[in-house]
Structure 1
Amino acid sequence: MRTSRVRGRRRVAVATAAVAALCGAGLTQGGAVQAQSKAAEAPWVVSLGDSFISGEAGRWSGNSNDSAGGYSGTDRAYDPATGTTDEHRVYSASYDNGCNRSDSAEVHSAPAPAGAHRLNLACSGATSTAILLPEHGGSPFKSEPSQAQQLQKAVTGHPVRAVVVSVGGNDLGFEDVILACGTNFLKPIGGKPCAPDQAPEVKNRLPAMRTAAVNTLADVTTAMARAGHPAGSYRLILQSYPSPLPDGARVRYPGEKYDRLTDGGCPFFDKDLTWAHDQLVPEISTTLGSAAKASGAEFLDLSRAFEGREVCSTTTVHAGPDQRPSGRTSEWVRFVTTGAGQGQRQESLHPNYYGQVALGSCLGLQLDRAPGDRRCDNTPGQGPRAMRLNPASAS
């Protein structure tokens, strides 16, 4: 069984670390100087996983239907001085293979000591298979080696403060669920809420998602041990997902009409919005929390981090000629787009620039506290730096 193999690998990792410690006792003077130099190096914070931590949609600071001036200032890839757009300004080289690691991704937005090294290995669209070690089924994804492999190579010989993981949503098929719900809404005849059909399907997939998360954390732990970092020498954090959509009672486009698509970018029935917000996202979060506990990892619950800042929420507004984008008034999630107009379809319903700054604030707060499980919430009416931590079990 996988569980016994994980335990066996952990015992091997502990034994390997013990041998390394014994060998280290016989360092020469030159080796001691080198060890002191490494100890003085600022510790690394590394992120692994999928689009919610890679920085997908970080190109956008809020949403707008006004195309002038870089969509009323929301397009961070737009240069007003030249009138040109270059996605590499935000995503750098990762734009070329679609990993879309933005400059505002959580690990980069998190407050950290001066000089701290931040490394983002996450890739948009990644399932657990893209993270696992090759001997456990891991495989290259979007032309890159498995993230656990990359992690082991990158942190060997460097101090590590924390490894933060976001995984499970793609294993669950979250995008397919959202696509099915949106497609139902857009049917000209016979469209009906998707929740009655999707809810039982999701429940059936949750155990497999939990297993995928547990296996991922086990391989991250193994990769770290192989790199000389035994369990307990760094923070291992598994995080959940913020709800990108409000419940049906808080949509600023009343009535289930097409303006939810054409203006708001939230083409969903009220029943589906309420199900996704009140049940789907919390169920995913609870399952991931269980995976973290089973793996000895900390859990950061982000399920309500965007409350009131979701796409089409009544407490947000679009940017326009008379409304500049702002972390206090704009949505923190990219609205649904087909990719035929502004931006890429894969950016839809992901944390935008403000959302990523908010998640970075959550991570910074978590790292400033003693290890433990917590939930991160925003402060109503405030920007993305005004985040707060609460006990994970708080309702």
Structure 2
Amino acid sequence: MSENSATAASGGRARRFAAAALTLPLAVSGLLAAGAAQAHADSGGGIAVSMGDSYISGEAGRWAGNSDTITGSRDGTDRAWNGSSYNASSVYGATAGGCDRSDSAEAISAFGSAGAVNIACSGATTADVFRASSGGQTYKGEAPQADQLAAIAAQQRVGLVALSIGGNDLGFADAISACIKDYEVWYSYCNATEQSAVDSKIDSAMTNVGKAIDEVRAVMTADGYADSDYRIVLQSYPSPIPRSSEDRYPESGWSRTMTGGCPFWNADLDWARDQLIPQLAQRLGQVAAGHGAQFLDLQDFLQGHEVCSTSDSLATDDQPTDAASGEWARFLTTGATQGTVQESFHPNYYGELGLGRCLSLVAAEPAGQNFACRSTPGQDASGVYLNPLS
């Protein structure tokens, strides 16, 4: 679509594109310069823009399941294997090792590369979403995401903004690290200490998530959009690990760590799955309601597809996995033998395809309705479905 036709499609709104004032991701700046994205009916009559952190950027999209084989294609799970070496940029492009925006990221899986722009960045906090004029900060060499959105929305019609943010404000990565150390080193539980840490931060984090939504709204208003011209979808986080009763490895011994890549005590598994993730979903749902955003509850999305679940399996040379039987999240890796540490416990390639279906299903529904998205154990992304939330 040319610049003139994009303007016509947006109802003739007069906008300016101030690309020179921003440091944009390479993929985004190239897309805007070309004016190549086509309007996509499922995203409200315009393109979709995904913003926020690693759970929507596509972190771990390199991996189609998990395998404890450390050479070659890792039993077919490593999408960066080219037959003789590994090239992470084939999945993450120029953002490999940084924002890790994968070719299978949620919005791209939902609407295709012509119907979506992904500006989310692994490790981002709410401050990385705010406009610079509102206290936003440059992160990994890129302008605040709301400022990037302003440039995109000025050039092309945006029909949907998908936002995943707040987890890094709460220190999710630190909590996971602490729980792993308690299992492998200290032989103690992490849940009480980490729950206290979350409780001490969550009010501030949710206030900032609300501000992030308001920042998106302010950008869109400044670019001439009415609230009815687009929708904001705030999503929660899925649990990449199962309950203890659904973990296929025994609690003691080394199989959870060395084979399964899920080194957590049973009590900590149950805390994360049934207390932490639901708590965050509840609070994010409240924020969405208070700031006029649609809510997508993902707390049960990976049920039956988690790392170490009894309902799925690792890939082996004899039995390569697929989206129906394989794990949908990346297991723990030290980065010494497979990929990078930052990919651990994020939705992988299969998970991203499922999340893409979640988003496309939500986009096809009325903007005022909230939904929970779930998957079906033993099925691929075709088994993903929505449940309306009251």
Instruction: Sort the TM-score into its range (normalised by shorter chain).
Output: 0.7 to 0.9
**Could you tell me which residue of structure 2 aligns to residue 36 of structure 1?**
8
- SS, match of residue 232 in structure 1: helix
Q: Is the 8 A contact 1:49 1:121 kept in 2?
A: yes
**Could you tell me which residue of structure 1 aligns to residue 285 of structure 2?**
289
AA aligned opposite 2:91: V
- State percent identity of aligned pairs: 42
Superimposed CA distance per residue, residues 272-300 of structure 1 (whole angstroms, 9 cap, x where no aligned partner): 00000000000011110011011000000
Q: 1:294 to 1:257 in 2, by over 3 A?
A: same
Q: Is the 8 A contact 1:38 1:157 kept in 2?
A: no
Q: 1:370 to 1:37 in 2, by over 3 A?
A: closer
Q: Which contiguous aligned blocks of 4+ residues in structure 1 show a shift greater than 4 angstroms? A: 31-35, 37-41
The TM-score, its normalising length taken from structure 1, stands at: 0.87
Distance in 1 (CA, whole Å) between partners of 2:5 and 2:59 is 41
AA aligned opposite 1:205: K
AA aligned opposite 1:90: V
Distance in 2 (CA, whole Å) between partners of 1:277 and 1:34 is 44
Is structure 2 residue 229 aligned with structure 1 residue 228?
Answer: no
Is structure 2 residue 133 aligned with structure 1 residue 135?
Answer: yes
AA aligned opposite 1:152: A
1:67-146 aligned at under 5 Å gives the runs 67-80=70-83, 83-95=84-96, 98-111=98-111, 116-146=114-144
Q: Which moved more, 1:136-145 or 1:252-261?
A: 252-261
**Could you tell me which residue of structure 1 aligns to residue 350 of structure 2?**
354
Q: 1:137 to 1:69 in 2, by over 3 A?
A: same
**Could you tell me which residue of structure 2 aligns to residue 276 of structure 1?**
272
Distance in 1 (CA, whole Å) between partners of 2:223 and 2:111 is 25
- SS, match of residue 201 in structure 1: helix
Q: Which moved more, 1:101-110 or 1:321-330?
A: 321-330
- SS, match of residue 385 in structure 1: helix
Q: 1:65 to 1:35 in 2, by over 3 A?
A: closer
Q: Is the 8 A contact 1:300 1:392 kept in 2?
A: no
RMSD: 1.8
Distance in 1 (CA, whole Å) between partners of 2:153 and 2:329 is 32
- SS, match of residue 47 in structure 1: strand
Q: 1:201 to 1:33 in 2, by over 3 A?
A: closer
The TM-score, its normalising length taken from structure 2, stands at: 0.88
Q: 1:137 to 1:33 in 2, by over 3 A?
A: closer
- SS, match of residue 248 in structure 2: coil
**Could you tell me which residue of structure 1 aligns to residue 161 of structure 2?**
163
Deviation, 1:312, is: 0.5
Distance in 2 (CA, whole Å) between partners of 1:217 and 1:322 is 48
**Could you tell me which residue of structure 1 aligns to residue 376 of structure 2?**
379
AA aligned opposite 1:141: Y
Distance in 2 (CA, whole Å) between partners of 1:144 and 1:283 is 31
Deviation, 1:32, is: 10
Unaligned runs of 5+ in 1: 1-30
Larger Rg: 1
**Could you tell me which residue of structure 1 aligns to residue 212 of structure 2?**
216
Deviation, 1:117, is: 2.5
AA aligned opposite 2:325: T
